[in-house]
Amino acid sequence: MVALLAACTGDGAGGPAAEPDPIAKVSFEPGDGADDVNPAAPVAVSVADGIITQVALSNADGKQVKGELSQDRHSFRATEPLGYDATYTWSGTAVGTDQKPVPIEGKLSTLAPDKTVPATLNIGDGQEVGIAAPIILQFTAPVQNKEAVEKALTVTTEPNTEGAWAWFPDDNGGSRLHWRPKDYWVPGTAVHLSAKLYGVDLGGGNYGDSDLTTDFRIGRSQIVRADAPSHRMQVVRDGQDVFDFGVSYGEGNEPRNVTRSGVHVVTEKYEDFMMSNPPFYENVRERWAVRISNNGEFIHANPESLSAQGSSNVTNGCINLSPGDAQQFFPTALYGDPVEVTGTSIALSAADGDLYDWTIDWDTWKSMSALQGEPSPVVTATPVPPKPAGG
């Protein structure tokens, strides 16, 4: 009798069984090896059929990017923006449902802008401003991609306030953008501006330098009503007349001596100010000076025109008060207060400086937005250096 012995076989080819591939699959956003990545874009790693046990995203110096691991440990995302023109490396380990480790390995590089462009805001955190104050965003270089900038901006107000952005002619070496409400602010309104400008493509190889935010509040309502033919100036606070001063306005014998009609805005004030209006006078010391436009118009004390105050207009365009009246008015003036001048032969305009916002009708203002026809990102902002003063 012949005994038959059973033999064990492998894979049919005489070798041992193949080890199955690990189950866990690692994927990156953006993909491994990506370059020209926007540093503000989402950056993440995720694992299918497994969990992350260790992970880091590091720059060339080994500094780790701050991030957040999901509660189920399936993904990790960066929680801070990356730097421009930099390379980052993923490292770490994932473990699949088969308990086998899988390395987390990858790289990405961010874009290199020709230039990063800073911007500044005219209203700081915690500041209280008047009811005519616009929010002004001033860039240090021209902006070509205005639509992208507006989409990165959000104004939040309490109570709800209708308003819009408008692009003004470039000034101080760069583009500038103003936001104002349709009508004067409601007193007490709380305002938050979020400007997510970092990583925004401004055009021409330029990108936003950094994000900006500000939280400020609208103060009491104070309106200066300045009627040139009457030679008087009223100050109306919360609907009540608090001052009625005899004053003198621009003589009006030539254009440079005409106080401009229209809604001016208080931008700054000085207890002492050296005024110049060449070639007529230079470095004349004036007291209690409140600037109302960048063409040199102030409300200020002037003892030299005292005899004309309340009876005739003799100034070079400023609104002159007696020293005592000017001293009373001075502490009440707030950045953003409206000064409504009426009854003169020349209207306030772009030729008179940066804050002629309220001379622009609402339909025209909205047409100055780069997002015409699109909803504004509104949920319901260092004054521009002044030009020489004239008195």
Q: Is the pLDDT of residue 26 over 60?
A: yes
pLDDT digits (tens, 9 = 90+) for 279-303: 677 778 899 999 999 999 999 999 9
- The per-residue pLDDT for 315 is 95
- The per-residue pLDDT for 161 is 98
Concerning whether 231 is annotated as a catalytic residue, the answer is no
pLDDT digits (tens, 9 = 90+) for 360-390: 999 999 999 999 856 544 433 333 333 334 4
- The per-residue pLDDT for 391 is 54
| CA–CA dist 282, 278 (Å, integer) | 6
**Catalytic hit among 74, 192, 264, 318:** 318
Of the pLDDT bands very low, low, confident and very high (cuts 50, 70, 90), residue 16 is: low
CB 366 within 8 Å of CB 164:
yes
Return mean pLDDT, the chain.
91
Burial 39-63 (b: 16+ CB within 10 A, else e): bbbebbbbbeebbbeebebeeeeee
Mean pLDDT of 48-76: 98
- The per-residue pLDDT for 77 is 98
CB 174 within 8 Å of CB 140:
yes
Mean pLDDT of 133-154: 98
Q: Is the pLDDT of residue 3 over 60?
A: no
Q: Is the pLDDT of residue 79 over 80?
A: yes
Concerning whether 300 is annotated as a catalytic residue, the answer is yes
pLDDT digits (tens, 9 = 90+) for 228-285: 999 999 999 999 999 999 999 999 999 999 999 999 999 999 999 988 777 677 778 8
Of the pLDDT bands very low, low, confident and very high (cuts 50, 70, 90), residue 20 is: confident
Of the pLDDT bands very low, low, confident and very high (cuts 50, 70, 90), residue 18 is: low
Burial 122-151 (b: 16+ CB within 10 A, else e): bbeeebebbbbbbbbbbbbbebebbebbbb
**Catalytic hit among 8, 178, 231, 300:** 300
